[in-house]
Amino acid sequence: MARKKSEEESSEIEAVDLISLLSTPETTDSYEIELSVPEQDLDLIALGKEELREEAVKLAKAKTLLPNKEVRPIASQTLSSPTPLRPSSITPTQTISIAKPKVTSSKTINCLDALQGYENDSFEQIIKDISACQRCGLCKTRKNVVPGIGNTKAKLVLIGEAPGADEDIQGIPFVGKAGQHLDKIIAAAGFNKKDLYICNILKCRPPNNRDPNNDEMRVCTPFLQRQLALIKPKMIACLGNIACHYVIGPSMPGITRLRGQWFDSIFGIPTFAMYHPSYLIRSASREKGSPNWQMWQDIRALKAKYDESGK
């Protein structure tokens, strides 16, 4: 007679089964390149991903250009409501200074100098400003800007790194294969996509889906700040190594160690680190302990926190 499963075992089995319903890993198109660079502590050679090692080396070099900052995860019980957004004295005609993550020796991450929008800001205005933006070279190669989509009063904002080819064509984030995978994950966890806001750090596609560089992320961040200032989310989920390192802190370990934990972020809003869906598409295994399995644990933890956090 079959042994009665403990609650924990049943929920793990359920998780693996549900995850196995998600799309079959595919590795044939641009998402190959678009893959967020995984953690440097992964043995990429063992995984047969030589090209990823090169990407990881590139990332490591880029990181040395960034200030070192010590940041610790925040205990999930201590998650507080986001730092109130300070009203801005900046008017749309003034130039907004480019926000840089502040460097301090403190153990806690500091917010950007001003997590603020413009006075009387609106999503329409932000989209207009993004469309007119020429702050970096990506304006020359973009087909469309990709500001963000979803509920402008969302409690939870999902932040990826940059639009890919499909997003560039449609002007909407996460509509390609990675996005479809993400849709399945969030739906499986019980989120209603209409309740969320989804966007990227960069609002324009880097050519050939290369990684965003730090200058591009810095000059684009004010748009994300303005979006967050209007939305006032209670929490952020950051997808992938690049977005997590930018938003949580450059001296953080790789995503395999960050994932599933809450951090303070440059925006002063509790931020949950998660794998990028592109990485999950690349990983075939749904076994216990695999990235897809870990993502399932993480998305459920996020959903539980989301449900706890009230309206």
Residue number of the CB atom closest to ligand URA: 160
- Residue holding tokens 């993400």? 182
Alpha helix (H) residue ranges in the chain: 7-20, 31-34, 50-64, 123-132, 138-141, 165-170, 177-188, 214-231, 241-248, 255-258, 277-282, 291-308
Q: Note the Cα 144 to chain centre separation in Å.
A: 20
Which part of the chain contacts ligand URA (CB under 6 A), choosing from 3-11, 114-122, 168-176, 283-291? 168-176
**Separation CA 167–CA 164 (nearest Å):** 5
Closest by CA position to 166, among listed 187, 186, 180, 150: 180
**Separation CA 14–CA 118 (nearest Å):** 46
**Structure tokens belonging to residue 138:** 């990506």
- Encoded one letter per residue, x for contact with ligand URA by CB under 6 A and - for no contact, window 25-64 reads ---------x------------------------------
CB of 209 to ligand URA, least distance (A): 8
| Candidate list 118, 174, 223, 306; residue touching ligand URA; CB under 6 A | 174
Which residues 6+ apart lie within 8 Å of 284 measured at CB?
25
**Separation CA 78–CA 62 (nearest Å):** 32
Confirm or reject binding of residue 148 to ligand URA (CB under 6 A).
Answer: no
Which part of the chain contacts ligand URA (CB under 6 A), choosing from 9-17, 79-87, 170-178, 223-231? 170-178
CB of 34 to ligand URA, least distance (A): 6
How many chain residues bind ligand URA (CB under 6 A)?
A: 13
**Strand pairing of 73-74 and 262-263?**
antiparallel
Confirm or reject binding of residue 200 to ligand URA (CB under 6 A).
Answer: yes
| Candidate list 163, 249, 260, 268; residue touching ligand URA; CB under 6 A | 163
Confirm or reject binding of residue 150 to ligand URA (CB under 6 A).
Answer: no
Confirm or reject binding of residue 268 to ligand URA (CB under 6 A).
Answer: no
| Candidate list 39, 55, 121, 167; residue touching ligand URA; CB under 6 A | 167
CB of 300 to ligand URA, least distance (A): 22
Which part of the chain contacts ligand URA (CB under 6 A), choosing from 90-98, 135-143, 149-157, 160-168? 160-168
Confirm or reject binding of residue 160 to ligand URA (CB under 6 A).
Answer: yes
| Candidate list 101, 147, 148, 164; residue touching ligand URA; CB under 6 A | 164
CB of 251 to ligand URA, least distance (A): 22
- Closer Cβ to ligand URA, 15 or 145, answer by number: 145
The radius of gyration computed from the CA coordinates of the chain, to the nearest angstrom, equals 19
Confirm or reject binding of residue 161 to ligand URA (CB under 6 A).
Answer: yes
- Kindly give the interhelix angle for 241-248 and 50-64, rounded to the nearest 10 degrees: 10
- Closer Cβ to ligand URA, 85 or 198, answer by number: 198
User: Is the Cβ–Cβ distance between 33 and 49 less than 8 Å?
Assistant: no
- Closer Cβ to ligand URA, 110 or 144, answer by number: 144
Distances (CA, A) of 196 to 87, 149, 193: 24, 8, 5
Which residues 6+ apart lie within 8 Å of 285 measured at CB?
291, 292, 293
Quick check: helix, strand or coil at residue 84? Answer: coil
Confirm or reject binding of residue 178 to ligand URA (CB under 6 A).
Answer: yes
Residues lying near ligand URA in the complex (CB under 6 A) are found at: 34, 160-164, 167, 173-174, 176, 178-179, 200
